[in-house]
């Protein structure tokens, strides 16, 4: 019986090893292409290990080719501002909904929760943001629509506040006459760092990876985020190859980045996430499982 | 009364910014859905345009598009639910058998990686394999077999398989972590008792592990069924690079609405498709939740 267990365990290692390879190989393809000489790429295609090592693409990249610095700046700014504002709004609302005896608490909770069940869809949202708020081609277009406050995170944070902050602590603080806002920032928040970190990471990842807001609301190249820049690079390449030249910006064709430069840009957009991920893996995993257990 | 107002005023103030945000970002667009019942003209705006009743819906359902996008959205989702669930549970069970803490963490870390990528990056990875000129499939695999390369972005036949595979590649690590966290909670003494009785590995999986996973599995599947009218816009728009030759197998309700708005300026029909999605989607969520409620109360959304 011990024998079968051992056999099964070896089988498990083999299958998980294969799955890990299937996950990793595409990453290797991306990274090694960014380190391969352009001529080799054109002649022999992408490869899992670089055929002819070259740092040319990165040299171009760091020399500021292809607007990459500007796009990075936009992505950093949008992620920082969006995450800070979104996280603050989320936890403040979550705390308010966790306060016992708050009049209309049920109604407000429903108001929040209902947004998870029903939405107006892209077209009314687009019409409102462009025609009423005139958000097109502004930095706000990358920060405000759809990403800031997610009802799901509000509900997760609220249940954390309700279950993990002893009400005796709150009562004692209130008897001492501390104001609600100070109470939240000085007592509740420091006691809730794990959930705040988890939600902050999730919101931050959402901003960093977002490309839809750019696609819907931004046509000005000066406001391109890294993701939007990448989208455009591959579209131009594809259009060029399939001969759909009509409607293509001639300037964009002339400045068409080389294949390896494109891959290097993609690598640089993934790198910060990959660097942060191992440090905060605990919180990522928590974010996933806490969601599954329900708020 | 006065005292109560003073006590709760700061709390309402704290709630206000996020509530205002939800009002603008989520509730106003719900009202904007009337656009589907209008003869929308850009210069007149939503409220100035004349009413058209159900004309937009009539037009939409007279086209083949309505059928194609409904079919694609539902069939892809069904394939995702079935295959992702089987794969995620298998991986979770295997992960649970690994004794070495280090290896366990390694596998988990690797399998979660794809979930951290944007669909733009995923489309780059897929392009790395399928690019007609430089892709790994054409240049390395097919070249080694002395086979001619193909323009994969024009061959619709392969895309259902590609998209199902890519979706699995992205999400399976994420889902397996959810199942794995349930597995960790199973009482060890069940397995010890089974060992004493001489149960095989396979018997333990069938009679202890799977039954314990069932509530999580049922809930996850039902919640996905509640979302069956929605599709991952990025998967169907970015990964096939919005290639026109593939629309028949890559168009879903979400890509149709987007293209109607941005590319063909067919606001009437695409907003009708949007309303169709919102309403049917809403009913499906309610239905799925009603069933979850019957099966395991504590897993229901509400």
What is the set of domains in chain A, with CATH numbers? 1-54 (no CATH), 64-293 (1.10.3720.10)
Q: What is the pLDDT of residues B55-74, one digit of tens each?
A: 999 999 998 889 999 999 99
Say yes or no: A271 contacts chain B, CB-CB below 8 A: no
| Nearest residue in chain A measured CA to CA from B301 | A294
**3-class DSSP state for residue A53?**
strand
What is the full per-residue pLDDT of chain A (295 aa) written as tens digits?
455 678 888 999 999 999 999 999 999 999 999 998 888 888 888 888 888 888 888 888 887 766 788 899 999 999 999 999 999 999 999 999 999 889 999 999 999 999 999 999 999 999 999 999 999 999 999 999 999 999 999 999 998 999 888 989 988 998 988 888 899 999 999 999 989 999 999 999 999 999 999 999 999 999 999 999 999 888 877 776 665 544 555 555 545 557 888 899 999 999 999 998 888 888 888 777 776 544 3
Strand partners, A53: A36
Residues present in chain B in total: 302
Helix (H) or strand (E) holding A234: helix A226-241
How close does chain B come to A63, measured CA to CA in Å? 23
Please give the pLDDT value at position A294. 44
Helix (H) or strand (E) holding A1: none
CB atoms within 10 A of CB A73: 12
Q: Which two tokens stand for residue A167?
A: 């009400």
Q: Which of A194, A205, A233 is nearest to A61 (CA)?
A: A233
pLDDT band at B273 (very low <50, low <70, confident <90, very high): very high
In this structure, is residue B10 part of a structural domain?
Answer: no
User: What interhelical angle do B64-97 and B210-226 show, nearest 10?
Assistant: 160
In this structure, is residue B128 part of a structural domain?
Answer: yes
Q: B174: domain range?
A: 41-299
CB atoms within 10 A of CB B95: 21
pLDDT band at B257 (very low <50, low <70, confident <90, very high): very high
- Cβ neighbors of B116 (< 8 A, separation 6 or more) are A205, A209, A273, A274, A277, A284
> Which residues of B fall within a CB distance of 8 Å from A258?
none
Q: Rg of the Cα trace of chain B?
A: 25
Q: Which of A203, A204, A218 is nearest to A71 (CA)?
A: A218
C-alpha–C-alpha distance, residues A211 and A193, integer Å? 29
Q: What is the CATH number of the domain that holds B98?
A: 1.10.3720.10
A238 vs B153: CB contact, 8 Å cut-off? Answer: yes
Q: What secondary structure letter does DSSP report for A52?
A: S
In this structure, is residue B246 part of a structural domain?
Answer: yes
Please give the pLDDT value at position B167. 96
8 Å CB contact between B267 and B260: yes
C-alpha–C-alpha distance, residues B56 and B268, integer Å? 6
Q: Which two tokens stand for residue A119?
A: 């939405």
Q: Which of B241, B117, B123, B119 is nearest to A235 (CA)?
A: B241
Q: In this structure, what are the phi and psi dihedrals at residue B250, rounded to the nearest 5 degrees?
A: -115, -5
Show the 3-state SS of chain B: CHHHHHHHHHHHHHHHHHHHHHHHHHHHHHHHHHHHHEECCCCCHHHHCEECCCHHHHHHHHCHHHHHHHHHHHHHHHHHHHHHHHHHHHHHHHHHHCCCHHHHHHHHHHHHHHHHCCHHHHHHHHHHHHCCCCCHHHHHHHHHCCCCCCCHHHCHHHHHHHHHHHHHHHHHHHHHHHHHHHHHCCCHHHHHHHHHCCCCHHHHHHHHHHHHHHHHHHHHHHHHHHCCCCCCHHHHHCCCCCCHHHHHHHCCHHHHHHHHHHCCCCHHHHHHHHHHHHHHHHHHHHHHHHHHHHHCHHHCCC
Give first-to-last CA distance, chain A, whole Å: 42
Longest Cα separation, chain B: 85
Longest Cα separation, chain A: 76
> Which residues of A fall within a CB distance of 8 Å from B48?
none
What value of ipTM does the predicted structure carry? 0.91
In this structure, is residue B186 part of a structural domain?
Answer: yes
| Nearest residue in chain B measured CA to CA from A10 | B98
8 Å CB contact between A78 and A217: no
Strand partners, B51: B38
Q: Which of A62, A30, A68 is nearest to A225 (CA)?
A: A68
C-alpha–C-alpha distance, residues B19 and B300, integer Å? 24
In this structure, is residue B210 part of a structural domain?
Answer: yes
- Cβ neighbors of A95 (< 8 A, separation 6 or more) are A157, A158, A161, A184, A188, B11, B14
> Which residues of B fall within a CB distance of 8 Å from A147?
none
In this structure, is residue B182 part of a structural domain?
Answer: yes
How close does chain A come to B218, measured CA to CA in Å? 12
Q: Rg of the Cα trace of chain A?
A: 24
In this structure, is residue B266 part of a structural domain?
Answer: yes
> Which residues of A fall within a CB distance of 8 Å from B113?
23-24, 27, 274, 277
C-alpha–C-alpha distance, residues B190 and B177, integer Å? 22
Question: What global pTM score does this model have?
Answer: 0.91
What average pLDDT does the segment B49-57 reach?
90
8 Å CB contact between B176 and B164: no
B117 vs A289: CB contact, 8 Å cut-off? Answer: no
Nearest 5 degrees, angle CA A291-CA A143-CA B111? Answer: 40
Which one of B97, B129, B257 has the shortest CB-CB distance to A8?
Answer: B97
Q: Which of B1, B11, B270, B278 to mutate to test the interface with A (most CBs of A within 10 A)?
A: B11
Please give the pLDDT value at position A295. 34
Strand partners, A36: A53
Domain count, chain B: 1
Q: What is the pLDDT of residues B202-234, one digit of tens each?
A: 888 889 999 988 888 888 888 888 899 999 999
| Nearest residue in chain B measured CA to CA from A16 | B107
Q: Which of A289, A273, A259 is nearest to A32 (CA)?
A: A259
Nearest 5 degrees, angle CA A282-CA A283-CA A287? Answer: 120
Please give the pLDDT value at position A1. 45
> Which residues of B fall within a CB distance of 8 Å from A262?
124
> Half-sphere exposure (CA, 13 Å, Cβ side) for A3?
0
Q: Which of A145, A124, A93, A108 is nearest to B28 (CA)?
A: A124
| Nearest residue in chain B measured CA to CA from A152 | B301
The yes-or-no verdict on residue B107 having pLDDT over 90 is: yes
In this structure, is residue B69 part of a structural domain?
Answer: yes
């Amino acid at each position: 019986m011990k024998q079968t267990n051992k056999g099964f365990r070896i089988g498990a290692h083999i299958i998980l090893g294969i799955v890990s390879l299937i996950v990793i190989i595409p990453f290797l393809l991306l990274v090694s292409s960014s380190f391969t000489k352009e001529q080799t790429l054109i002649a022999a295609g992408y490869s899992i290990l670089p055929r002819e090592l070259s740092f040319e693409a990165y040299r171009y990249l760091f020399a500021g080719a292809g607007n990459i610095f500007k796009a990075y700046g936009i992505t950093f700014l949008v992620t920082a501002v969006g995450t800070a504002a979104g996280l603050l709004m989320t936890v403040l609302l979550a705390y308010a909904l966790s306060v016992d005896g708050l009049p209309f608490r049920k109604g407000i909770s429903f108001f929040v929760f209902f947004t998870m069940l029903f939405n107006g869809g892209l077209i009314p949202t687009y019409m409102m943001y462009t025609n009423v708020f005139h958000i097109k081609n502004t930095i706000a277009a990358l920060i405000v629509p759809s990403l800031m406050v997610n009802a799901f995170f509000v509900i997760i944070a609220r249940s954390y506040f309700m279950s993990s902050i002893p009400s005796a602590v709150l009562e004692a603080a209130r008897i001492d006459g501390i104001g609600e806002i100070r109470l939240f920032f000085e007592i509740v928040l420091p006691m809730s760092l794990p959930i705040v970190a988890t939600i902050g990471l999730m919101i931050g990842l959402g901003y960093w990876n977002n490309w839809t807001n750019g696609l819907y609301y931004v046509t000005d190249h000066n406001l391109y985020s890294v993701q939007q820049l990448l989208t455009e690079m591959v579209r131009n390449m594809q259009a060029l190859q399939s001969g759909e030249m009509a409607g293509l910006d001639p300037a964009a064709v002339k400045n068409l980045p080389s294949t390896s430069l494109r891959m290097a840009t993609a690598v640089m957009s993934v790198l910060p996430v990959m660097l942060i991920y191992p440090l905060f893996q605990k919180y990522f995993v928590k974010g996933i499982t806490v969601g599954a257990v329900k708020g | 009364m006065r005292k109560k107002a003073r006590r709760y005023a700061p709390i309402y103030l704290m709630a206000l910014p996020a509530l205002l945000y939800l009002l603008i970002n989520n509730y106003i667009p719900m009202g904007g859905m009337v656009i589907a019942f209008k003869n929308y003209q850009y210069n007149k705006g939503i409220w100035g345009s004349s009413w058209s009743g159900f004309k937009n819906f009539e037009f939409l359902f007279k086209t083949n598009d309505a059928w194609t996008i409904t079919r694609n959205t539902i069939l892809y989702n069904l394939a995702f639910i079935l295959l992702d669930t089987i794969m995620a549970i298998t991986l979770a069970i295997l992960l649970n058998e690994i004794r070495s803490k280090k290896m366990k963490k390694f596998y988990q870390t690797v399998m979660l990686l794809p979930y951290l990528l944007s669909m733009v990056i995923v489309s780059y990875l897929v392009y790395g394999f399928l690019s007609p000129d430089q892709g790994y499939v054409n240049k390395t695999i097919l070249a080694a077999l002395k086979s001619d390369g193909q323009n994969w972005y024009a061959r619709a036949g392969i895309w259902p398989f590609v998209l199902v595979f890519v979706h699995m590649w992205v999400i399976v690590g994420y889902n397996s972590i959810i199942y794995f966290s349930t597995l960790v909670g199973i009482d060890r003494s069940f397995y010890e008792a089974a060992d004493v009785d001489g149960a095989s590995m396979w018997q333990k999986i069938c009679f202890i592990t799977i039954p314990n996973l069932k509530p999580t599995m049922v809930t996850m599947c039902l919640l996905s069924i509640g979302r069956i009218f929605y599709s991952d816009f990025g998967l169907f728009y970015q990964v096939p690079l919005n290639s026109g030759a593939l629309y028949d197998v890559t168009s879903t309700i979400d890509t149709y609405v987007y293209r109607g708005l941005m590319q063909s300026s067919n606001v009437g029909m695409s907003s009708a498709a949007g309303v169709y999605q919102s309403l049917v989607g809403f009913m499906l969520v309610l239905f799925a939740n009603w069933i979850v409620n019957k099966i395991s109360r504590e897993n229901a959304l509400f």
